[in-house]
Amino acid sequence: MRILSGIQPTGDKHLGNLIGALRHYATNQHLGEAFYFIADLHALTLLPDPTELRRATLSTSAMVLAAGVDPERATLFVQSHVAPEHAQMAWVLQCVANMGELNRMTQFKDKTEGKKDGGSVGLFTYPVLQAADIVLYDADHVPVGHDQKQHLELSRNLAQRFNNRYGADTLVVPKPLIAEVGGRVRDLQDPAKKMSTSTGSEKGTVWITDEPAAVLKKFRSAVTDTGNEVRYDPEAKPGIANLLELMHVATGTEISDLEAEFGSGGYGHFKTAAGEAMVAYLEPIRERYLELVGDEAELERILKQGAARAREVAGATLERAIAKTGLLLG
């Protein structure tokens, strides 16, 4: 079985990234051969500052490793190190995709809201590049957060359509792996919204690198709901439900046991306990991150090794797919 996922090098990473995606990278690397990459070609769609993009690519690599990905077991690479293969596959899939289905992508709509020029063409075709990333590695399973569900549906449709046109079983049709609990971590100040790098609130976003005191403060001031009972009810009590999910992930304690323990003890007591649990959970990850991010030579060594393996696999799939299309191979 093959597992693959990508994460964009966009500044610092938050609890949503860790709980919704990164922690599953580590557990899933034991299920089969895993490929994880830093999606810098995707990040380019918003034209980040070049120095910042370079820095964030290395720091995001360090974060993936800190979250438990073992570079001797899984392949960790930078997408642009395999740019020719990803770009070629994306082109073939762009010819399979249609405007109508891309027009329905909600993330594109969100990212271009209010933009007079409608956003870059790369931003529009971004989900097709994502499909190419996935099929190039014959990925069966793709661990992602809930916000990627629509992109994964598109990837499945494109792989199926390609196979219908050019031959069954040419491309593996991927399945998303989205956790029931923690697949959508909410902003601590606004539980109606997901925790997010771009649209989140400062006080409601917990960065993985936040100092323990800052984490605790953000949890203590989390917006909860009316009432005073600590009960898991995502509809009526989204703030409390979010904190219960986070505490469950941090401690491994079942949500029902947390309800029994904190049910009537008041929100304040519960928020402090949840914050302390998160500090303890984050501590080893944060320490390992700080160690790794300072060792650029080691990061570059790991990424180079990953790129070699990634190119090998992607190149073979690309050749297999292209041969079916009638394009003449070099």
Helix, strand, coil distribution of the chain in percent, nearest 5: 60, 10, 30
Tokens standing for 1? 């079985």
Q: What is the total count of residues that contact ligand AMP (CB under 6 A)?
A: 17
Q: Are 262 and 31 in contact (CB under 8 A)?
A: no
**Window of 142-150, 236-244, 283-291, 313-321 that interacts with ligand TRP by CB under 6 A:** 142-150
Three-state DSSP class for residue 203:
coil
Binding ligand TRP (rule: CB under 6 A), the pick from 3, 5, 40, 250 is 5
Residue with tokens 């923690």: 182
Q: How far is the CB of 279 from ligand TRP (least distance, A)?
A: 26
Q: Residue 67 interacts with ligand TRP (CB under 6 A)?
A: no
Q: Residue 147 interacts with ligand AMP (CB under 6 A)?
A: yes
Q: How far is the CB of 146 from ligand TRP (least distance, A)?
A: 11
Q: Residue 61 interacts with ligand AMP (CB under 6 A)?
A: no
Q: Residue 16 interacts with ligand AMP (CB under 6 A)?
A: yes
Complex with ligand TRP: residue 133 or 187, whichever CB lies closer: 133
Three-state DSSP class for residue 80:
helix
Q: Are 194 and 185 in contact (CB under 8 A)?
A: yes
> What is the DSSP code (8-state) at residue 227?
S
Instruction: Tell which residue, 125, 121, 130, 119, has the closest CA to residue 153.
Output: 130
> What is the DSSP code (8-state) at residue 14?
B
Binding ligand AMP (rule: CB under 6 A), the pick from 21, 105, 273, 278 is 21
Phi and psi at residue 193, in whole multiples of 5°? -110, 155
Three-state DSSP class for residue 192:
strand
Instruction: Looking at residues 167 to 206 of the shown chain, list those that interact with ligand TRP (rule: CB under 6 A).
Output: none
Binding ligand AMP (rule: CB under 6 A), the pick from 3, 8, 88, 302 is 8
Residues at the contact surface with ligand TRP, assessed by CB under 6 A: 4-8, 39, 42, 130, 133-134, 142, 144, 148, 151
**Residues in the site for ligand AMP, rule: CB under 6 A?**
7-8, 10, 16-17, 20-21, 144-145, 147-148, 183-185, 194-196
